[in-house]
Amino acid sequence: MKKALSMVFMLLIIVVLASVSFAAQNSTITQTTTPYKNKKIGGVSTTSGITVKKTTNSTESILTKKHYDIDAALKKMKEEAAAKADTDKADKGKKEDESKKTIPVEANKNKESDQISKIITTKTSDTKQPISKDNMVSPKDVVKAVEVPLAVGSAGTAIKPTPMIEGELETAESLLVTSEWLVQNLSKVVIVDARPESLYAGGHIPGAVNASWTYFANVNAPAGSMKYGTIYNPATMAKRIGALGIDGKKPVVVYCDAGGWGQSGWALWVLRMSGIKNAKILDGGFTAWKQPGRVVSRTKHTNKAVPFTIASYKANYLVNTEWIKNNIGKPNLAILDVRTSGEYLGKIRPFGEKRAGHLPGAINIEMGKFINADHSFKSQEEIAELMQSAGISPDTEIVVYDTAGVRAAFVTMVLRYASGYNKTQCYDEGFQAWAGDPTLPIEKTE
């Protein structure tokens, strides 16, 4: 019996111990954490309403571990973002350095293979040879590169190009483009070389078509007549403009050369009067283009003819002999003679005019006074001072004339768009027409 009780007691102890152990192992506290509120990390939303259970005998809660995971992810993303930013910055700096060294230029391709067929760059460190008659590009050569030189006094920065011209209003800033701008926009514009054909054949800007002042003027009329050298009627002019590939939408750049008569101004005057607002003059002309590293072509270039119409010429650009007869001598009207002093004084008649002298009351300022020796335009301040010294203010109505209109048209454009003299018009029939009518008065200084 005693032995049996002892065994029962031992069994009870075992049961109690087992119960205690079981209770200890299964004693837990369940906690519900505050759910995540769809927090975005790196652009991805976390799962909403996460409930995490934590045991009392755990040294690290599931919630804490979850926070560690998020922090690690954030840290990793920040590190990746910083690394990417450093890479982008390095790539940008590399591109900027390369852009300072090389400037690609595009140009149109023509039948004679005179134009650029693809973009090729030239390093500024390459040896530069001045352009001369001996090293002008052969007609068979393909233009490989055109280099933009740096501005004088700049520290590795190219000259800021003239703003794009399409759609600009007729303002002082819309008259000129620089040769640097033209290099960068060579394939985006129609280029018109307004010099005589012989000079064009000797070398011109790649892609330029040739159209001297006679292309736009009636030179088939008898010299000295009212119609000689005057512009064609709108219908005829429209066809001739369209034949140059000018449609009125694509920008146009015209140029001539130092020592000329300002043929580029005549061409610009015709184009603007025909309604083409985005036509400009290359400041400095062909001389400005001929810089080391620039290509000169000797192959004739033509553009495909395009439709172009002129309903009527723009008003306030042009006056004729009849208008002069009816308005000469009126207050606030200045007649500006831009011929040489010898022509004005009546000492010479270089173009076979019927009589020598000038229109009554005309003021003489030679065309050359408005430009520098390299054919670049003088500043607005210099031109304003020149006009004021002659007693002509910006609010004065001005009529400009020369022999047959070429020099006069150039000065008309200078005054209208470079100096603020917006009431300036051109008398394109010129002195040769006035002198050809013996009934009209002429003044002559002995």
Q: How large is the average pLDDT for residues 200-218? A: 95
Q: What is the pLDDT of residue 437?
A: 93
Q: Is 97 helix (H, G, I), strand (E, B) or coil?
A: helix
Q: How confident is the model at residue 9 (pLDDT cuts 50, 70, 90)?
A: low
Q: What is the pLDDT of residue 67?
A: 34
Cα(159)–Cα(177) distance, rounded to whole angstroms? 12
**pLDDT surpassing 70 at residue 156:** no
Residue 379 lies in a domain: yes
What are 150's strand-pairing partners? 158
Higher pLDDT, 135 or 335: 335
Higher pLDDT, 11 or 98: 11
Share of the chain above pLDDT 90, in %: 50
Cα(234)–Cα(240) distance, rounded to whole angstroms? 10
Residue 275 lies in a domain: no
Cα(262)–Cα(110) distance, rounded to whole angstroms? 28
Instruction: Note the pLDDT tens digit of each residue in 268-297.
Output: 999 999 999 899 999 999 999 999 999 999
Cα(287)–Cα(373) distance, rounded to whole angstroms? 11
Higher pLDDT, 85 or 123: 85
Q: What six digits make up the tokens of 156?
A: 């590795």
Cα(269)–Cα(279) distance, rounded to whole angstroms? 9
Q: How large is the average pLDDT for residues 384-389? A: 95
Residue 339 lies in a domain: yes
Q: How confident is the model at residue 91 (pLDDT cuts 50, 70, 90)?
A: low
Any idea what the CATH number is for the domain that residue 362 is in? 3.40.250.10
Higher pLDDT, 323 or 65: 323
Range in 8-12, 36-40, 346-350, 371-375 with the lowest mean pLDDT: 36-40
**pLDDT surpassing 90 at residue 10:** no
Q: How large is the average pLDDT for residues 234-262? A: 93
Whether the CB-CB separation of 351 and 404 falls below 8 Å is answered with: yes
Q: What is the pLDDT of residue 220?
A: 82
In order, the DSSP letters of 106-165 are -----TTS-S-SS-----TTS------SSSSPPTTSPP-----PBPTT-SS-BPPPPPP-
Q: How large is the average pLDDT for residues 194-213? A: 96
Q: Which amino acid is it at 178?
A: T
Residue 126 lies in a domain: no
Query: Considering its fold, how many domains does the chain have in total?
Result: 2
Range in 2-16, 222-236, 398-412, 415-429 with the lowest mean pLDDT: 2-16
Cα(203)–Cα(444) distance, rounded to whole angstroms? 42
Higher pLDDT, 128 or 379: 379
Residue 372 lies in a domain: yes
Q: How confident is the model at residue 327 (pLDDT cuts 50, 70, 90)?
A: very high
CA–CA distance from 114 to each of 48, 143, 147, 301, 390 (Å)?
69, 7, 17, 8, 48
Whether the CB-CB separation of 64 and 119 falls below 8 Å is answered with: no
Q: Is 425 helix (H, G, I), strand (E, B) or coil?
A: strand
Q: What is the pLDDT of residue 445?
A: 74
What is the sign, positive or negative, of the torsion defined by CA atoms of 346, 349, 350, 351?
A: positive
**pLDDT surpassing 60 at residue 265:** yes
Q: How confident is the model at residue 376 (pLDDT cuts 50, 70, 90)?
A: confident
- DSSP secondary structure letter of residue 276: -
Range in 24-38, 146-160, 310-324 with the lowest mean pLDDT: 146-160
Higher pLDDT, 331 or 26: 331
Instruction: Note the pLDDT tens digit of each residue in 336-357.
Output: 999 999 999 999 999 889 999 9
Q: Which of 44, 78, 95 is the last residue of a domain?
A: 95
Residue 138 phi/psi, 5-degree rounding, is -75, 150
Three-state SS for 55-91 is CCCCCCCHHHHHHHHHHHHHHHHHHHHHHHHHHHHHH
Cα(180)–Cα(53) distance, rounded to whole angstroms? 73
CA-atom Rg of the chain in angstroms: 41
Q: What is the pLDDT of residue 92?
A: 56
Q: Which of 95, 111, 144 is the last residue of a domain?
A: 95
- Closest by alpha carbon to 387, among 368, 403, 371, 363? 363
Q: Is 409 helix (H, G, I), strand (E, B) or coil?
A: helix
**pLDDT surpassing 70 at residue 306:** yes
- Closest by alpha carbon to 267, among 258, 278, 280, 257? 280
Domain extent for 53? 33-95
Give the burial class of 53: count Cβ atoms within 10 A of its Cβ; 0-12 exposed, 13-18 middle, 19 or more buried: middle
Give the ranges where 338-379 is alpha helix by DSSP (H): 341-345
> Which one of 37-41, 408-412, 420-424 scores highest in mean pLDDT?
408-412
Q: What is the pLDDT of residue 148?
A: 28
Residue 116 lies in a domain: no
Residue 358 phi/psi, 5-degree rounding, is -150, 170
Q: Would you say how long the chain is, in residues?
A: 446
Whether the CB-CB separation of 238 and 308 falls below 8 Å is answered with: yes
Q: How large is the average pLDDT for residues 352-380? A: 92
Give the burial class of 138: count Cβ atoms within 10 A of its Cβ; 0-12 exposed, 13-18 middle, 19 or more buried: exposed
Q: What is the pLDDT of residue 189?
A: 97
Q: What six digits make up the tokens of 403?
A: 């022999």
Q: Which of 71, 95, 119 is the last residue of a domain?
A: 95
